[in-house]
Amino acid sequence: MDEAIHEKVREVIKSIPRGRVATYGDIADLSRAPSPRLVGRILNEDGHDLPWQRVIKADGTCAPHLRDEQLQMLREEGVPSLDGKVNLREYRWEDARKDADEPPSLF
DNA sequence: TACTTGACCGTAA
DNA sequence: ATTACGGCCAAGT
């Protein structure tokens, strides 16, 4: 069942620390979801009780219909945005970059 | 069954 | 900076 993935996605999102953000792709990797689009769909239907404001697009922007409210919520928890974009280099949840099954780097 | 629709992503022009 | 395109995949028509 992909009901398992559904729950895993929710868990990963719940574990994003305050003051950090993760991209849809990050969540997909960590939760083994087959594609980032699934993450978006899951949030849309079953994300009301999650810290959804911490999930943003890979370019640092938010989904259009949420933009204003989301950026405001993030600002309140210490994540600033400039020109509608969050600086991922500064505020991306680092654990999300750490493996999701990456081979060890040779460097 | 076939086509459309998303809270998306990476690449390229 | 912006647009376009292909890939993604579950749900809804």
Task: State residue A106's pLDDT score.
Answer: 43
Q: Are strands A81-82 and A55-56 parallel, antiparallel or unpaired?
A: unpaired
Question: Which nucleotide is closest, CA of A27 to its C1'?
Answer: B8
Res A3: pLDDT: 81
* Closest nucleotide to A61, Cα to C1': B7
Architecture of the domain made up of A3-92 = Orthogonal Bundle (1.10)
Spacing of C-alpha A11 from chain mean position: 12
Task: Spell out the domain ranges in chain A.
Answer: 3-92
Instruction: Average pLDDT across each block of 10 residues of chain A; the chain has 107 residues. List them in order.
Output: 87 97 96 96 95 97 95 97 95 72 51
Cα of first residue to Cα of last residue in chain A, in angstroms, is 38
Q: pLDDT by residue (tens digit) across A44-57?
A: 999 999 999 999 99
pLDDT the model gives residue A95: 73
DSSP string spanning A64-106? TTTHHHHHHHHHHTT--EETTEE-HHHHB-HHHHS-SSPPPP-
> Closest by alpha carbon to A42, among A9, A75, A4?
A9
Positive or negative, the CA dihedral A24, A100, A105, A18 is: positive
User: Strand B: which bases are under 7 Å from protein Cβ?
Assistant: 6-10
A94 φ, ψ to 5°? -65, -35
Q: How far is the CA of A13 from the C1' of B8 (A)?
A: 16
Question: CA of A42 and C1' of C10: distance in angstroms?
Answer: 10
